Structure 1
Amino acid sequence: MRIILLLALSCSLTASKTKSELHALYCSLDPLSLAQNFAFYELYPESEEGKEALKRAWSILNYKNAEHFDLTLPPLDLRPIVALVNKENFDPPRLTKKQLELIQKIAKGFPNRKLKGYKVKKESDLLLLPPKEIDICRALFLAQQEDSSSYEATIDLMALQILARLKPGASDVEKIDAINEFIFHEMHFRFPPHSLWAKDIDVYTFLPSVIDSRKGVCLGVSILYLCIAQRLDLPLEIVTPPGHIYVRYREKDGNIINIETTARGIDTPSEVYLGIETKSLQMRNPKEVVGLAFINQASVFWGKKDYSKAIELYEIAEKYLPNDPLLKEFLGYNYLFVGSVDKGVKYLKEIKDHIPEFAITKNSVAEDFLNNKVDIEGLKTIFLSVDETRESIIEKRTALEKCLQKFPEFRAGLFQLAGTWLQLGREKEAKKILERYLQIDPDEPTANYYMSVICLQRFNYLDSWKYFKKAEKILKANNHFPRALKELKQALTQACPPNSF
């Protein structure tokens, strides 16, 4: 979408303007907005005001380098650079060598240029570097074996625009505010609709597509945020709750500012990211982020049942996440699905007893498979995806029921079957399935939590308290008091105080 500048300023941009109208329009521009000044120049390139807008945009780019650069316009065609800033969706940037050199010259003082990872040309050299030396943007393009020059220039231009709005000696918090304002409000980067990202999560993960479309899933926009932060000397931490990623800033006094990239950078309380079985938040480093991008891409091919391609991508990710238990688990399943049973079993044996530092319990799927509680075809049922339709939920429910007829003690199958009944609004059926689950694994905290919630909703307060206390006891032993459990206790206490029975 083209910059909204002239949308608000004029209802007939293509109509001819008198000199006074054009001058008034020029005066209404934000003097520090590269996008607005470039957009004005695009519309009125032959006018005096248009030429002045172009000069002003050039001065914005050179603002922090005024001592070292001539602020007169360079002797080359700047229109491709203008288009790079104000391009339409999915309009890939195309710059000549001279234009790229110009942007490189302006941006050469960025801190990321000092990273060893910025200078590497081969992935093999990149893999030898410690995480603190990784330039995330360059690393991703090397791993993908793609030319990164135009997209790196785009990110440089973004950082230059943000820098122009920062006063000398700006604090890190001011940098965060400026990045949020630019990415989410001026450039309108957004989380894509569910119907798009669920099918093409890889499209909204890698930088080229995120930049071209201005849409990205949590990982895609977080990667862009990190690339800009590295150029502005803003140290950020990378956090990965189960199935999610966001970035955060830790102040010197220990205070944490979370930056939720799927919600325009708002500071979401950390406890929101903790679940019944997630007692702490897993941290990642810049090198691991590269691997996570390939994990996202692999998930698309897994969903399409192209297990060989998924394995290929997981093995690329493994170079950046060599000892990651979740990645080993994913590789294990996909090797099983392509018939490489020995390889699959090897990976699953490595992780079957692993309990992550951030979790309460281990994943039961690998253990159940190795104990013959489910076969390969049964495993596939728990990875069936559902969309927003009732039909897809029923299809998965039917597949799970068929699997459980053969393997009645397959815990993940039981748990997901209960989930499908809940998605269909059938609490009674879900309760029966969870009861079967708890006969097999009575100390599973999430199952006890859900049973407590269901019993509360069905006004069975005594059983609700019973399951609540069981879940609370398990979590208390792990020094974990999640928000969801506190809210359940509050609701249960209001409905049926513990001293009333």
Structure 2
Amino acid sequence: MNLATGRVIVARVMLASMAMVTCMQATPVHAQRVDPDVRALRAIIEKPETEIDLARAKLTIDRIIDPAVDIEGTLAKLDAMAATVKALAGPRAKSSEITRVLRSYLYDAGPWNNQQPFRYDLEGDPLGHSISGKLLATYLRTRKGNCVSMPTLFVLLAQKLGLEATFAASPGHVFVKYRDETGRWYNLETTSGGYPRKDESYQRDTPMTPQALKNGIYLRPLSRKESVAAVMIGVLLDHYTNTGRPERVIAIADVALEHYPSDINAMLRKGYAYYLLLRDFRKKYPRPSDAPIEGRLLFQALELNNRLWYEKAEALGWREPDAGADARYQEIVKAAKPN
């Protein structure tokens, strides 16, 4: 899905619609708290930063998408995996040595993984669009993932091993940020073997503006709240977009943006949700002038909100991807060697 194609250019603005724009920019808090999904998300993201358990957060959000997700069973599996890595690394291993063992444990074939390493799903989901493929339980079962599930497993295991690791983003992509015992940060590309990649290679393959880098929307380590918002809630936003629930997308994007105001993906998904509402309106009223006055005001408010969220993203430095973006993305996941 290309969220950029959901942008509507607005030529006229009526003052009467501005009040409606204001009231539509966010779902009322009391209404959000009644929604079980929003309530579950707030229970996760409103905790103090140090109390957020990213593994439980990921599985709780995944379970909203797939009720068959076994949270406790999967947590036990993660604990067992971390224990195996710890044993392989040895009791006196440094942070960098544990990271090396973790990388090998996940991506090199050996007795520790029954000769079945984790791989990017190049055949079934080369562009990483599958919602199922972004779920942690699916990745653990199939050992085929994408740029959401793959860095997620690495980060969750790294944190259980006491490593300083988190998520970072480039346009349309998620990877791992890791800091070793010397205090040096590394980018680890889990979609192609967990090898380090330099910032410059991401800037080459997924171009980003200087403005975006200055505003910190790309290439920097995310906090736990930001990780929940951008990486985990982002999958839920994709799910509800794909299943035609734009109102729910807006309500959930509001939760993400409340705790991560520069969440580009939430802005784009919210803008696209307003596009979907506009599309539904046009099916009912091919000519907006045929709608009753309340409907015309609603139409203009939807147009303005659609434009607003794309403009907010652009103001932070986001730009629509060019024609070669998909090809460059596939090169990222095929490059299974360090730069």
Correspondent of 2:171 among 222, 226, 242: 242
Correspondent of 1:349 among 303, 308, 315: 308
Residue 230 of structure 1 pairs with residue 167 of structure 2 = no
Q: Separation in 2 of the partners of 1:202 and 1:190?
A: 17
Match of 1:289 in 2: 227
Change (3 A) 1:134 1:347: farther
Q: Secondary structure at the match of 2:248?
A: helix
Q: Secondary structure at the match of 2:101?
A: helix
Q: Separation in 1 of the partners of 2:128 and 2:224?
A: 26
Q: Separation in 1 of the partners of 2:128 and 2:196?
A: 28
Q: Separation in 1 of the partners of 2:138 and 2:221?
A: 26
Q: Separation in 2 of the partners of 1:192 and 1:178?
A: 23
Q: Which amino acid aligns with 2:90?
A: K
Q: Separation in 2 of the partners of 1:131 and 1:197?
A: 34
Match of 1:277 in 2: 208
Q: Secondary structure at the match of 1:274?
A: helix
Q: Which amino acid aligns with 2:60?
A: L
Structure 1 residue 349: Cα displacement: 2.2
Q: Which amino acid aligns with 1:132?
A: T
Which moves more between the two structures, 338-347 or 219-228?
338-347
Change (3 A) 1:317 1:215: farther
User: 1:245-264: CA deviations, max 9, x gaps?
Assistant: 11122235453322110011
Which moves more between the two structures, 192-201 or 127-136?
192-201
Aligned 8 A contact 1:295 1:313 in 2: no
Match of 2:270 in 1: 331
Q: Separation in 1 of the partners of 2:148 and 2:128?
A: 15
Query: Higher strand share goes to which structure?
Result: 2
Match of 2:193 in 1: 264
CA RMSD for the aligned pairs? Answer: 3.2
User: 1:69-110: CA deviations, max 9, x gaps?
Assistant: xxxxxxxxxxxxxxxxxxxxxxxxxxxxxxxxxxxxxxxxxx
Q: Which amino acid aligns with 2:91?
A: P
Match of 1:161 in 2: 84
Change (3 A) 1:209 1:236: same
Match of 1:139 in 2: 57
Change (3 A) 1:283 1:345: farther
Which is bigger in relative contact order (C-alpha 8 A, separation at least 6)? Answer: 2
Change (3 A) 1:222 1:285: same
Q: Secondary structure at the match of 1:218?
A: coil
Work out which of the two has the higher radius of gyration on C-alpha atoms and give 1 or 2.
1
Q: Separation in 1 of the partners of 2:53 and 2:166?
A: 15
Residue 307 of structure 1 pairs with residue 244 of structure 2 = yes
Q: Which amino acid aligns with 1:284?
A: L
Which moves more between the two structures, 333-342 or 160-169?
333-342
| TM-score normalised by the chain length of structure 2 | 0.62
Q: Secondary structure at the match of 1:196?
A: coil
Aligned 8 A contact 2:271 2:310 in 1: no
Aligned 8 A contact 2:247 2:273 in 1: yes
Q: Separation in 2 of the partners of 1:335 and 1:227?
A: 34
Match of 1:129 in 2: 47
Q: Secondary structure at the match of 1:245?
A: strand
Q: Separation in 1 of the partners of 2:312 and 2:40?
A: 37
Change (3 A) 1:317 1:330: closer
Match of 2:255 in 1: 319
Structure 1 residue 165: Cα displacement: 1.1
Change (3 A) 1:169 1:316: farther
Q: Separation in 2 of the partners of 1:247 and 1:318?
A: 25
Q: Separation in 1 of the partners of 2:150 and 2:184?
A: 23
Change (3 A) 1:251 1:344: farther
- Contiguous gaps of at least 5 residues in structure 1: 1-120, 364-411, 424-501
Q: Secondary structure at the match of 1:201?
A: coil
Match of 2:147 in 1: 218
Aligned 8 A contact 1:189 1:215 in 2: yes
User: 1:31-88: CA deviations, max 9, x gaps?
Assistant: xxxxxxxxxxxxxxxxxxxxxxxxxxxxxxxxxxxxxxxxxxxxxxxxxxxxxxxxxx
Aligned 8 A contact 2:95 2:181 in 1: no
Q: Percent identity?
A: 21
Q: How many residues align?
A: 244
Aligned 8 A contact 2:82 2:157 in 1: yes
Structure 1 residue 152: Cα displacement: 0.6
Q: Separation in 1 of the partners of 2:85 and 2:250?
A: 35
Structure 1 residue 140: Cα displacement: 1.9
Q: Separation in 2 of the partners of 1:195 and 1:168?
A: 39
Q: Secondary structure at the match of 2:119?
A: coil
Aligned 8 A contact 1:206 1:293 in 2: no
Q: Which amino acid aligns with 1:289?
A: S
